[in-house]
Homo-oligomer: A and B are copies of this chain.
Amino acid sequence: MSTAWTSRYALRTKAVKSSAIRELLKITQRPEVISFAGGLPAPDVFPTERFREACCRVLEQKAKLALQYGATEGYEPLREMIARHTSRYGIKAKPENVLITSGSQQALDLIGKLLINPGDRILIEAPTYLGALQAFTVYGAEYVSVPCDDHGIRTDLLDKPLRSGPKFMYILPNFQNPGGTTLSEGRRHELVLLADRFGIPIIEDDPYGQLRYEGEHLPPLVVLDRKNLRRDNGYSIGNVIYLSTFSKTLAPGLRLGWIIAPPEVIAKLVQLKQGADLHTSTFIQMLAYEVARDNFLDEHVKLIRRVYGERRDVMLAALQEFFPPEVTWTHPQGGLFLWVTLPEGMNSQKLFEAGLKENVAFVPGDSFYPNGQEGLGHLRLNFSNAEPQQIREGIRRLSIAVKRQMQELHLIDALLQSHN
């Protein structure tokens, strides 16, 4: 009878595969493994004591509200706080521009539900966030990939992809996952101009924007969008929907993100969220508000920048020290990840197996492409979760696996040449 269910699955379901990363995470949780695989924040920086105080305050003063059903749009003071925080970067957001979501992942799911008909093409960066691929694919999305370099998506290559009529562009401008690269200011201007010229909107996903370890904050696309700049009465129209989250600044276990969009789009997303989960936990929203308020979040982010910035530096130094010169990697100015490119012929899936034997883990690059093959020459390393000493040791272990695989490849090459 098991098969009676199988035979009833909807078409969209049959296309969905389990996230490789989440399955990997299970394997790599053995204590002897140093894992660069997940995108996990460092648990040491969670502001636990402030959370405890906030829980007490919410339950002593507002328990009947916190434990009851709430509005789908979200907890009003939290929406106001997010609108205020967003406004300081130049966008005139109001609470009615804000929808609270159950993590950024739900934002991606709702946007897929809102915009994607089966067969619609979505313009993505190559590589891109695999959770977005997962969220969009279930609604029947197909993809137009545009390559990235050290300055983000190649805007000089956008003309033809935009002419092919994608439904929207999905862009991670800051410290991209998995690339670790940041879209340059010049390209940001180009991108919003192209969006306007072709009438192709942008979904701007910005989970890491606050976590910058060097350089200056760059304006988000939603701010540069001329459609918005022209308006004085708040963010009522525009080509860009902006997403962010508390997962990297407070704690991912909350599952709390948000969407900034014109009110008319928010209204539609609210209807879809009603059907999806009624609303995000009232208690969690009030808790996050109590923790973040009175500028705590700004202060706390400074601590995170210090801790993660050091870990990034340790990883970059260890790569320099241990890795052979044929391997290259990106230099992220912030965020949680860097992206390694292997020499021609090497395969990151095989390297993953070799790495596990050395008790070190990462995510092979194929997860970040709709067509996985493209990514097999790359791998993603996370530097936020492990402690500095562990990072150095992990990179040392990984370098052993890399060198061994390179040697094997040279042996094969030599063998092939000797046969010629």
Contact = CB atoms under 8 A, between A and B. Distances in A.
A378 interface: no
A72 B131 CA distance: 13
Given A16-B271, A277-B255, A6 B109 contact: no
Interface string A275-307: 111111111100000000000000000000000
Contacts of A41: 68
Task: With a 10 A CB-CB cut-off, give which of A22, A72, A262 has the most chain B CB atoms.
Answer: A22
B275 A134 contact: yes
A168 interface: yes
A144 interface: no
Interface size grouping (class) on chain A: 35 or more
B9 A268 contact: yes
Contacts of A270: 18
A239 interface: yes
A114 interface: yes
A284 B66 CA distance: 12
A251 to B, nearest CB: 4
A237 B1 contact: yes
B48 A109 contact: no
A315 interface: no
Given A67-B253, A139-B10, A274 B2 contact: no
A252 B1 contact: no
B63 A4 contact: no
A189 interface: no
A63 B41 CA distance: 13
A69 B38 contact: yes
A4 B199 contact: yes
Given A255-B277, A255-B280, A281-B284, A1 B52 contact: no
Interface string A106-130: 1011000111110010000000000
User: How many copies, total?
Assistant: 2
A377 interface: no
A176 interface: no
Given A13-B272, A106-B277, A5 B135 contact: no
Given A10-B114, A16-B271, A138-B272, 18 more contacts: A1-B238, A5-B262, A9-B114, A13-B271, A18-B271, A19-B275, A40-B69, A46-B67, A48-B59, A52-B60, A68-B251, A102-B102, A102-B281, A106-B276, A106-B277, A138-B275, A255-B278, A283-B284
27 contacts: A2-B262, A4-B201, A5-B265, A6-B264, A8-B168, A9-B114, A10-B116, A10-B117, A11-B117, A12-B113, A12-B117, A13-B115, A18-B271, A19-B275, A22-B72, A43-B64, A43-B68, A46-B64, A46-B67, A48-B64, A102-B280, A106-B276, A106-B277, A108-B275, A109-B277, A255-B278, A283-B284
The 10 tightest CB contacts between A and B, nearest first, are A67-B251, A253-B282, A43-B64, A55-B55, A1-B237, A48-B63, A134-B275, A67-B253, A102-B277, A52-B59
Interface of A: 1-2, 4-6, 8-13, 16-19, 22, 26, 38-41, 43-44, 46, 48, 51-52, 55-56, 59-60, 63-72, 102-103, 105-106, 108-109, 113-117, 120, 131, 134-135, 137-139, 167-168, 199, 201, 227, 236-239, 251-255, 262, 264-265, 268, 270-272, 274-284
